[in-house]
Amino acid sequence: MIAQAARHQPTTMARVIPLRPKVSGLQRATDLAQKIDDLAELRALLRKATATERELTGEILTELAGLRVSRFEGTEAVAILEHRTCLTVDPELFLLAAGTSAYGAMTVGVTKACELIGEQDLAAISETSMTPVLRIEKRDLGPAAVA
């Protein structure tokens, strides 16, 4: 009897929608300005981190080679020198081997292609697509803006 009663009870699934306080236009603009400044700072930190990472990697590789070791332990991490096999495909031989189906696997370097046939000719034979790009630039605040 209890099982039957439970079966006939209606079930509801309430969806809770959080209430958002109304934000003024000025507050939204202030928030957006802060996000832009944060993004500019983050990108600067990433560039600095990337440059430092490359520099440290080069130094460690040089030291490992000088010590003639492929592994060296730090206090918190271990450096392990490994080797990867990288292929450089000869495009002419690849085209000969795969035939016209090779075109689907090939890519063209835009910079090199521009050097070979020119930007206008390359654009004429290419498909164009637009991709949104967000550029962040530091503002020149100068002495007048600081006062």
Ranges of each domain in the chain: 26-83, 84-128
As a whole number, mean pLDDT of residues 128-141 equals 87
As a whole number, mean pLDDT of residues 44-65 equals 96
% helix / strand / coil in the chain, to the nearest 5?
55, 5, 40
Tokens of 10: 């209606």
Element (H, E) at 72: strand 71-73
| pLDDT at 18 (0 to 100) | 63
Q: How far apart are CA 139 and CA 36, in angstroms?
A: 11
As a whole number, mean pLDDT of residues 93-120 equals 94
| pLDDT at 46 (0 to 100) | 97
pTM of the model: 0.60
As a whole number, mean pLDDT of residues 68-78 equals 95
Q: How many of the other CB atoms lie within 10 Å of CB of 134? A: 7
At residue 72, φ and ψ (nearest 5 deg) are -150, 135
Q: How many of the other CB atoms lie within 10 Å of CB of 92? A: 8
As a whole number, mean pLDDT of residues 31-35 equals 92
| pLDDT at 13 (0 to 100) | 60
pLDDT over 80 at 137, yes or no: yes
The angle subtended at Cα 139 by Cα 136 and Cα 143, nearest 5°, is: 170
Is there a contact between 65 and 83 (Cβ–Cβ < 8 Å)?
A: no
Output 145 or 4, whichever has higher pLDDT. 145
